[in-house]
Amino acid sequence: QYSKAANNSKELEDCEQANKLGAVNSTLSNQSKEAFIDWARYDDSQDHFCELDDERSPDAQYVDLLLNPERYTGYKGPSAWRVWNSIYEENCFKPRSVYRPLNPLAPSRGGDDGESFYTWLEGLCLEKRVFYKLISGLHASINLHLCANYLLEETWGKPRWGPNVKEFTRRFDPAETKGEGPRRLKNLYFLYLIELRALSKVAPYFERAVVDLYTGNGHEDAESKALLLDIFRDTKSFHMHFDEKSMFAGDKKGAKSLKEEFRLHFKNISRIMDCVGCDKCRLWGKLQTQGLGTALKILFSEKEIQSLPENSPSKGFQLTRQEIVALVNAFGRLSTSIKELQNFKVLLQQTR
């Protein structure tokens, strides 16, 4: 405690701020607590054919997302980098000898501008290239949320939140990122198209009368389902730019093996997210990872969705309450990212 490092007031202030901003607001009304018990009882009575890792864990808890908006928390530096580094290194089918551009945890490569990484990436099969782009797009989306909802000022206990153009430039400007920023944003749009495609594909599952978004309030349930079906109708009106049929289209044995690899990688990414030292960052990171995993599950289950019976449950395809919440909220986050990106374009034009 008497060391120079321990008495660095700036580091202590940053740490205290990160702990404060990153804390999860776990406030729940008595009405909500009673509803969760009712929901669990209803869900237990249903036939489920996929089990999520931590859904029934004693450590799991319900959180009101409206009380915990995704924004800057002060969680940054080596700790945050190690989490993302583990996600890329362990799950993107990448050998250790190939270094990602601008990775501060990788050994120094002198004049390497990162092009060797993309040369390696182009040599992969379509499915593995897609996987990397999805993770990169997710990373870009989360960074955009933090830049767009940044703590600009904190005076007399009244924080002022808003877009931080300087932080956005540091993370995405071509000059600041050696040309890497635009690639990240391109992957963000690619991820958006993937999840948009999944929403359009899952519509038949929800259009069936047997599917009920149960909360115990029949009127609100019907209204919620009607709103969800409106979203699906909007997605169908959009000209899709991605066709998942080109994925896993090889021999059946190889395709099945690769699809299983995808599934295991997403489970591993969710476990890595458990290592995030900021509660709020972990909450939104896991939710968006699970949302993407659910989107891929939908895209790879098209035949099962099309053959679902109208008036009875099916063992062929099922979505849990947790997956539905993750899918809709993850797409909401991506939509917000696209909107905030347009806002930053305007702000950058005004500052020039």
- Quote the pLDDT of residue 223: 92
Answer whether residue 126 is part of any domain.
yes
Residue 17 above 90 pLDDT?
no
Name residue 11's amino acid: E
- Alpha-helical (H) ranges within 237-317 are 252-273, 279-299, 302-306
Given this model, what pLDDT does residue 48 score?
38
Decide which of 198 and 259 is more confident. 198
**Looking at residue 36, what is its pLDDT?**
57
Name the least confident of 25-34, 163-172, 255-264.
Answer: 25-34
- pLDDT at residue 50, as a whole number: 37
What pLDDT does 47 receive?
A: 38
Q: Is 125 a catalytic residue?
A: no
| Arithmetic mean of pLDDT over the chain | 83
Residue 321 lies in a domain: yes
Residue 252 lies in domain? 72-96+113-351
The secondary structure of 133-177 as a DSSP string is: HHHHHHHHHHHHHHHHTEEEEEETTEEEEE--HHHHHHHH-TTTT
Within a 10 A sphere around the Cβ of 235, how many other Cβ atoms? 18
What number of other Cβ atoms are within 10 A of residue 4's Cβ? 6
CB 163, CB 347: distance < 8 Å: yes
Q: Among residues 92, 125, 147, 281, which one is catalytic?
A: 281
In a domain, 135, yes or no: yes
84 is known to lie in a ligand binding site: yes
Would you state the pLDDT for residue 112? 58
Give the pLDDT of residue 332. 95
What is the C-alpha to C-alpha distance for residues 212 and 221, in angstroms, rounded to an integer?
A: 7
> What pLDDT does residue 310 have?
80
Please report where in the chains the tokens 């995704």 appear, as a residue. Answer: 70
211 vs 108, higher pLDDT: 211
Residue 3 pLDDT exceeds 60: no
- Pick the range with the lowest mean pLDDT from 95-104, 117-126, 222-231: 95-104
**Pairwise CA distance, residues 202 & 81, whole Å:** 35
Residue 189: the pLDDT is 95
Q: Does any domain span residue 236?
A: yes
56 is in an annotated binding site: no
Q: Read off the tokens for 142.
A: 């989360």
Q: Which of residues 226 and 31 earns the better pLDDT score?
A: 226
263 is in an annotated binding site: no
- 254 within a domain of the structure (yes/no): yes
Q: Which of 50, 92, 125, 278 is catalytic?
A: 278
Residue 139 is assigned to a ligand binding site: yes
pLDDT beyond 70 at 18:
no
Is position 155 annotated in a ligand binding site? no
In the block, which residue shows the tokens 């305007």? 346
Query: According to the per-residue pLDDT averaged within each range, which of 50-64, 270-284, 326-340 is highest?
Result: 326-340
Q: What pLDDT digit, counting tens, does each position of 37-84 carry?
A: 655 655 554 433 334 545 566 677 788 888 998 988 888 888 888 999
- 272, pLDDT greater than 70: yes
Is residue 163 a part of any domain in this protein? yes
- Structural domains in the chain (count): 1
With respect to residue 287, please indicate whether it lies within any of the assigned structural domains: yes
Q: Which residue has the higher pLDDT, 108 or 65?
A: 65
- Over range 133-159, report the average pLDDT: 90
Q: What is the pLDDT of residues 300-315, one digit of tens each?
A: 888 888 888 887 766 6
**Is the pLDDT confidence value at 240 over 80?**
no
Q: 15 pLDDT exceeds 80? A: no
Does 71 count as an annotated binding residue?
yes
281 is catalytic: yes
Name which residue leads in pLDDT, 294 or 6: 294
Q: What is the mean pLDDT of residues 248-254?
A: 73
Residue 53 in any domain: the answer is no
* DSSP state, residue 289: H
